[in-house]
C-alpha cells in the first residue's frame, strides 16, 4: 500500500510491459505525456521501455495489483530512473 503523494518516480522497465490494477484508493498514472486518474476497478498499461509514474492522490492509501510481462521480481537494478 502506498500513501498520498508517494508512488513511483519517473522510470522505465527495459523490455518489460507493466499493468497496474487499482484495488483501493485513487492514483494518477502518467505515461508518454498522458495522465489519467485511476480509482478502484481501473487499470493502466505502461509499454516496455516507456518512462512512467504512478502517484497516490487519495487521502487513503492505494492498494494495487501490479503485473509484468515477462515476469520479473521487483528489482531496482532492472528499472531505469529519470
- Enumerate the domain spans of the chain: 7-75
Name 36's Cβ contacts closer than 8 Å, sequence gap at least 6: 28, 29, 42, 44
Over residues 7-18, mean pLDDT: 90
Q: Count CB-CB contacts under 10 A for residue 38.
A: 21
Architecture of domain 7-75: Sandwich (2.60)
Counting runs of H as helices and runs of E as strands, what totals does the chain give? 0, 8
pLDDT tens track for 24-82:
999 999 998 899 999 999 999 999 999 999 999 999 989 999 999 988 766 656 666 65
pLDDT(11) > 80:
yes
- Specify the pTM: 0.81
Task: Record the cell numbers describing residue 3, joined without a space.
Answer: 500513501
pLDDT band at 16 (very low <50, low <70, confident <90, very high): very high
Say what the pLDDT of residue 47 is: 96
CB 16 within 8 A of CB 68: yes
CA neighbours closer than 13 Å in the CB half-sphere of residue 46 = 28
Amino acid at each position: 500500500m502506498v500513501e498520498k503523494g508517494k508512488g513511483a518516480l519517473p522510470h522505465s522497465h527495459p523490455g518489460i510491459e507493466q499493468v497496474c490494477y487499482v484495488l483501493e484508493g485513487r492514483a494518477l498514472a502518467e505515461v508518454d505525456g498522458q495522465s489519467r486518474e485511476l480509482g478502484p476497478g481501473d487499470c493502466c498499461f505502461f509499454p516496455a521501455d516507456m518512462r512512467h509514474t504512478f502517484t497516490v492522490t487519495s487521502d487513503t492509501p492505494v492498494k494495487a495489483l501490479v503485473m509484468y510481462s515477462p515476469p520479473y521480481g521487483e528489482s531496482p537494478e532492472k528499472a531505469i530512473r529519470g
